[in-house]
Amino acid sequence: MRPTLRLDRGTLVLREVPEVVACWFTWDARSQNHRAPGASYRPVMEALRSAGVSVVDEAAVFSKLELGFARDVTPYPHQMAALRAWKDAGRRGVVVLPTGAGKTLVAQLALRDTPRSALICVPTLDLLQQWYAGLVAAFPDTNVGVLGGGSHDDTPLLVSTYDSAAIHAETLAGTYAFQIFDECHHLPSDFTRVIAQMGLAPYRLGLSATPKRSDGRERDLDDLIGPVVYSVAPDELAGDTLADYRETIIRVKLSAGEQRRYDDLIRQRNDFLRLQGIRLGSLEGWTEFIRASGSPQGRAAMRAHREAKSLAYGTEGKLRVLEEILATHPSARTLIFTDDNATVYRISREFLIPAITHQTPVKERHAMLENFRSGDYRILVTSRVLNEGVDVPEASVAVVLSGTATEREHIQRLGRILRKSEGKQAVLYEVITEGTSEERVSQQRRGQWSPGMSAQDIADHYLDLNAPD
Amino acid sequence: MLPTELLLFRVRAGLVEPRRLRPTTGNLGTADMLIQTFEAHIGKRRHELDEELRALEAGRQDFRVVRGLAHLLANRGTFEAGGHVEPGHVRARVFALAQDHVPSRRHTAHLLEQAARALSTDTPVSPAEVAAALYADLPDQQTLVALDAPTPLELIQLYDLSQAQGMLYRAYSLVITARRNEPSRYKQLLKYLKFFGLMVTVEGDADVGFTLTLDGPTSLFGSTTRYGLALAKFLPALLHVTKWDLSAAVKPRRDLAWVDPKDDEWSFQLTSEDGYVSHYPEPRDHDSALESGFVERFAKLDTGWVLEREVDLVPVPGGVILPDFRLVREGRSVLVEIVGYWRPEYLRKKFDLLRRSGRTDVIVCVSERLNLEKAGVDPSDFGDRVVWFKGVLNPRDVLAVADRVRPA
């Protein structure tokens, strides 16, 4: 009797293991059978086939897709090269392309040439919408489904957020022959890597502009997806795919009154710290400050620190500059970025500019982006939700009102306007407040400043701390 | 349950101890104050509630406790967008009107007036109402419309349980040592295990107790915290079981400054006597009239046999079965399984598991109304250990068989 290969909650199960695949399986005394991670499906099946051993495969329930490709686009040479490299590598691996260089088309071509049930994982709800719209346009006869953001479809071509795909990893494991990971540096985290580990998918494609992670786990992508099969840097493409852009930094000075207030608050805080012998240069110092903020004096110092921080971000001054920039570009498609939701909504309320944050309902978000694309809305203000690879091709002006210090964010924000649009030079404004610690954050964001953490960085992260009391 | 940032615990010699409030006057007072704050904000906006809560926690050493209690209360509240103009509609109108101008704060008041006129139907809408409605559906703009308010004691119990559950988020596996007890209420436990996709390995017997190791399919390939959340959700079900000790291996929180970076594993331990209270429904003593009728009739008999309910976990390959009853007499014991009405595939599985357990001390009581043949079940393997019954199962028939069965 032929052995039967079954799938149990993201693992492959065999009652008896043929010798040629024994190395992938482990005896499971709990269930009295042999078990292997779902991801070993491909090497197991390949080994069985080359040894001429036949099994009953009850594990994989892949389906064929009828993908009528309804796009008359000529791929750029780098897109064709990426596709070829991925296919030559056995349809497994990571393609590294700068934001704006058309990763989505590479994926659509890979789908066209690998017409099997496919799961596409994306990090944000915006990307979910964007992939959905893109796939519907590319494959109009195919039923495209969405998992995440309130939708729970079950279709052979499915776009999901990483979180939803991880939550449902066990049920998705056997259905998809092809896994595509957009912004694939998200995959190696503890919570999401199970999508790749449990999934049987013999074909895998990772896409990223910057596969780097702060924890170095991008190395795991080799196992989870496959090695980098194609890579190209932004400057190799500038002028070809990407529009030239100009970056303008505007320094906002606090008004004399604001500056006095700021200095005053910082003095208040520092007096307290000195009295307590706390040095804010380190994480321990910051933890001590939080502990000390239980006392009335400590509370006052913490309040002073917070108010100084909010002054440093100089919202009022920045809004004055924003108004000026908007007047300078009275007809340009413009995106405004700020770091915190409160400022997004403040700008939206005060200027009556449509806003998108992570709180915006999915459908409304989609409609807003559509309006922006079509030109019905000329300006959008947003927090970090548009950061990664969301395709807003028509934007030619971007205004960054404040930011946090991570390199990737900066690259990807720039990427938003690095789109070739006829005869247009894109402008990126970065509005920062002079004479406060925030300046260093901006420098770090552009890779110019990095020694250790500033008190500001630590302040930005202080809620993650969890000291016992 | 609580989000990770509201978990409070300390670590002593590798043992994690979750924060417990205990119902002291002070803690009950804090809980009561929060419940009253929430109740006073029914009909008000969430940000007003949040501001009040921030004021309450300000300067308190235990502000994270206050925040945790408030989180649990918020989970029991219903928040809705209020107002008679729909915010999404207001936004669409306002932003459409705003497109004719280069955005400037000088225009805003004028645009709001225009929008108010456009949005006024039978009921007039003021510019201020338009401005208020613009983002009335945001979470912090929503109104608390209802609260499923616990008592202060219940809130504290819920908090303690949530902290204990939180310790399991990062657990690799969980080991339960169940001591001899009756009734042990394992049935609901097994149901929840299945529901949360967990796997169990059982060792031991009904006289000395059992060791249950809980993890998931991929735990086989290496330690994983994938099943931590399922284990956390499982904990309230375990609390209904009596007499056990629990021990879980937990991945240390390296993200916390005070954690010793040399720690590579923490242990979390709990027992059924620790006083945690489950908010999952109490399992009923019997899940069918068939079984409760049997217990009642048995009680009226004058016999040397003692009837125990659901005390024996019988490991079988791929799982564990829990026979309905165990009969004990002078050091001898037999197991009793009553098979009432069930779907054919359930019957097949039940008989298959009983057979695979390899136990020869199980009496199977089968309703004559069941069409075993049609379900593809052959009870002949159980030989004379089958008791057929019509409608009512007579305990005497079962005891007659029990007297014959050789001890296992």
| Letter string b/e over residues A245-256, b meaning 16 or more CB atoms within 10 A of that residue's CB | beeeeeebebee
Same domain, residue pair B174 and B252: yes
- How many other C-beta atoms can be found within 10 angstroms of the C-beta atom of residue A51? 12
Does residue B228 sit in the same domain as residue B325? Answer: no
A40 neighbourhood in chain B, CB within 8 Å = none
Q: Say whether both B176 and B121 belong to one domain.
A: no
CB contacts of A382 in chain B (<8 Å) are none
pLDDT for B166 beyond 80: yes
Residue B27 placed within a domain: no
Q: Tell me whether residues B134 and A8 touch, CB distance under 8 A.
A: no
| Contact of A132 with A95, CB cutoff 8 Å | no
pLDDT tens readout for residues B116-142 = 998 888 888 889 889 988 998 888 888
Output the six-digit token pair for A252: 């906002």
Place B3 in a pLDDT band, splitting at 50, 70 and 90. very high
Q: What's the confidence (pLDDT) of residue A311?
A: 76
8 Å CB contact of B108 and A197: no
- Equal CATH topology for A4-57 and A77-234: no
B256/A466 touch (CB, cutoff 8 Å), yes or no: yes
Q: Which residue of B has its CA nearest to A345?
A: B135
Does any domain span residue B72?
no
Greater model confidence, A410 or B332: B332
Mutation target for A interface from B65, B105, B174: give the one with most A CBs within 10 A. B105
- B43 in a domain, yes or no? no
Provide the pLDDT for residue A308. Answer: 82
Output the DSSP codes for A102-127.
-HHHHHHHHHHHS-B-EEEEESSHHH
Answer yes or no: do B258 and A287 touch at CB < 8 A: yes
- Residue of A13, A25, A30 to mutate, interface with B, max B Cβ within 10 Å: A30
A150 at the B interface (CB within 8 A)? no
Whether pLDDT at A301 is above 80: yes
B305/B359 same-domain check = yes
Structure tokens at A114: 């690998």
Whether residue A310 has pLDDT greater than 80: no
B103 closest CB neighbour out of A170, A194, A326: A326
Structure tokens at B356: 């695979």
Q: d(Cα B323, Cα B219) in Å, to the nearest integer?
A: 28
- B155 Cα to chain A: minimum distance (Å): 21
Residue finishing a domain among B283, B300, B334: B283
Q: How far apart are the first and last CA of chain A?
A: 64
Q: Are B353 and B321 in contact (CB under 8 A)?
A: yes
Q: What is the pLDDT of residues B68-90, one digit of tens each?
A: 999 999 999 999 887 778 888 89
Q: Domain spanning A77-234: which CATH class is it, in words?
A: alpha beta
Please give, rounded to a whole number of angstroms, the shortest distance from the CA of A256 to a CA of chain B: 23
CB of A334 within 8 Å of a chain B CB? The answer is no
Same domain, B343 and B380: yes
Long-range contacts, B199-204 (Cβ 8 Å, 24+): B199/A30, B199/A31, B200/A30, B200/B319, B200/B320, B201/A29, B201/A30, B201/B315, B202/B313, B202/B314, B202/B315, B202/B320, B203/B315, B204/B178, B204/B313
Higher pLDDT, A90 or B181: A90
* Joined tokens for residue B142: 């929503």
Q: What is the per-residue pLDDT for A259?
A: 81
Whether A282 has its CB under 8 Å from any CB of chain B: the answer is: no
Strand, helix or coil for residue A160: strand
Q: What are the domain boundaries of chain A?
A: 4-57, 77-234, 244-252+315-445, 258-314+451-461
Residue B14 lies in a domain: no
Kindly report which listed range (A31-40, A437-446, B314-323, B358-367) carries the lowest average pLDDT score.
A437-446
Question: Quick check: is B11 in a domain?
Answer: no
Q: Which CATH class is domain A244-252+315-445?
A: alpha beta
Set of chain B residues whose Cβ sits within 8 Å of the Cβ of A300: none
Q: Are the beta carbons of A349 and B131 separated by less than 8 Å? A: yes
Please identify among residues 46-65 of chain A the ones whose CB lies closer than 8 Å to any CB of chain B. none
Class of A4-57 in CATH: alpha beta
**How far is the C-alpha of B261 from the C-alpha of B178, rounded, in Å?**
34
Please give the mean pLDDT across all residues of chain A.
81
Question: CA A36, CA A25: separation in Å to the nearest integer?
Answer: 5
Nearest-Cα distance to chain B for A151, in Å, is 20
Task: For residue A312, give Cα distances in angstroms to A253, A302, A354.
Answer: 10, 15, 26
| Lookup result for tokens 């594990």 | A59
pLDDT of B33? 95
Q: Which residue has the higher pLDDT, A333 or A53?
A: A53
- pLDDT reported for residue A424: 55
Q: What's the confidence (pLDDT) of residue A468?
A: 29
Of the partner residues A28, A287, A353, the one whose CB lies closest to the CB of residue B103: A353
**What is the count of residue pairs from A and B with beta carbons less than 8 Å apart?**
121
What pLDDT sits at residue A277? 84
* B137 neighbourhood in chain A, CB within 8 Å: 361
What pTM does this model have?
Answer: 0.74
Is the predicted ipTM greater than 0.95, yes or no? no
Q: Are residues B236 and B254 in the same domain?
A: yes
Q: What range does the domain containing B125 cover? A: 87-135
Q: In this structure, are B241 and B327 located in the same domain? A: no
Average pLDDT for chain B:
88
**∠ CA(A55), CA(A57), CA(A59), 5° rounding?**
140
- Condensed to tens digits (0 to 9), the pLDDT of residues A399-418 reads 888 644 434 455 455 555 54
> What pLDDT is recorded for position A408?
44
Chain B's closest residue to A302, CA to CA, is B59
- Contact partners, residue A295, CB within 8 Å, separation at least 6: B59
Q: Are A112 and A70 in contact (CB under 8 A)?
A: no
Beta carbons of B217 and A8 less than 8 Å apart: yes
Same domain (yes/no): B298, B261: no
Give the per-residue pLDDT at B150.
96
Nearest CA in chain A to B258: A467
* pLDDT for A391 beyond 90: no
**Confidence at residue A452, expressed as pLDDT on a 0 to 100 scale:** 35
> Residue B233's pLDDT is what?
94
DSSP lists the bridge partners of residue A373 as none
* Residue pair A150/A125 in contact by the 8 Å Cβ criterion: no
Structure tokens belonging to residue A325: 């920039």
Residues B259 and B207 in one domain: yes
CB contact under 8 A, A376 and B96: yes
- How distant, in Å, are the alpha carbons of A411, B104, B191, B225, B252 from that of A431? 17, 18, 58, 43, 41
Give the pair of three-digit tokens for residue A73.
Answer: 């686009």
Which chain A residue shows the shortest CA-CA distance from B251? A190
Nearest CA in chain B to A331: B102
Compare B333 and A420 and report the one with higher pLDDT. Answer: B333
Same domain, yes or no: B303 and B201: no
Q: Do B105 and A323 touch (CB under 8 A)?
A: yes
Higher pLDDT, A446 or B156: B156
Residue B325 lies in a domain: yes
Average pLDDT value for residue range A111-119:
95
Asked whether the beta carbons of B326 and B206 are under 8 A apart, the reply is yes
| Mean pLDDT, residues A341-358 | 90
Shortest distance between the Cα of A16 and any Cα of chain B, in A, equals 15
- Is the pLDDT at A241 greater than 60? The verdict is no
Residue of A nearest to B128 (CA): A349
Question: What amino acid is encoded at A60 in this protein?
Answer: A
pLDDT at residue B318 in the model: 66
Same domain, B299 and B352: yes
Range of A126-140, A335-349, B183-197, B210-224 with top mean pLDDT: B210-224
pLDDT tier at A384, thresholds 50, 70, 90:
low
Choose the most confident range, by mean pLDDT, from A362-366, B103-107, B110-114. B110-114
Predicted local confidence at residue A447, as pLDDT: 42
Give the number of domains in chain B: 3
What the block records as the tokens of B366 is 């089968």
Determine whether the interchain pair A284/B257 forms a contact, defined as Cβ–Cβ distance below 8 Å.
Answer: yes
Report whether pLDDT(A177) > 60. yes
Which uninterrupted H or E stretch holds B194? helix B186-195
The answer to whether A306 faces chain B, any CB pair under 8 Å, is: no
For residue A454, pLDDT over 50 is answered with no
Q: Do A26 and B221 touch (CB under 8 A)?
A: yes
Query: In whole angstroms, how far apart are CA A75 and each of A81, A97, A137, A203, B36?
Result: 10, 14, 16, 22, 64
Q: Which range (A24-38, A198-212, A321-335, B243-257) has the least confidence?
A: A321-335
Question: From the CA of B108, how many Å to the nearest CA of chain A?
Answer: 6
Q: What pLDDT score does B287 carry? A: 63
Torsion angles phi and psi, residue B93, rounded to 5: -65, -50
For B120-179, the DSSP string reads -SSS---HHHHHHHTTTTSGGGSEEEEE-PPPHHHHHHHHHHHHHHHHTTTEEEEEEEEP
Does pLDDT of B184 surpass 70?
Answer: no
What are the strands, taking DSSP E only, across A201-255? 203-208, 228-231, 245-252
pLDDT of residue B358: 81
Q: Decide: A158 and A111 in contact? Cβ < 8 Å.
A: no
Strands (E), B137-280: 143-147, 171-178, 199-205, 209-215, 244-250, 266-271
Mutate to test the interface with A, among B8, B47, B102 (most CBs of A within 10 A): B102
Residues B307 and B391 placed together within one structural domain of the fold = yes
Considering the domain boundaries, does residue B80 fall inside one? no
Give domain status of residue B238, yes or no. Answer: yes
Mean pLDDT for the stretch of residues B175-186:
78
Lowest mean pLDDT among A298-312, B217-231, B241-255: A298-312
Could you tell me the two tokens for B41? 């904000």
Distances (CA, A) of A300 to A248, A286, A313, B388: 38, 16, 20, 79
Strand residues in A97-233 grouped as ranges (E): 118-122, 144-148, 151-152, 157-161, 178-181, 203-208, 228-231
Evaluate if residue A465 carries a pLDDT over 70.
no
A10 touches chain B (CB under 8 A): yes
* Min distance A176 CA to chain B CA atoms (Å): 19
pLDDT of A115: 92
Q: Name which of B218, B229, B357 to mutate to probe chain A: the one with the most chain A Cβ atoms within 10 A of its Cβ.
A: B218
Q: How far is A12 from chain B (nearest CA, A)?
A: 10
Least CB–CB distance from B257: residue in A30, A283, A319: A283
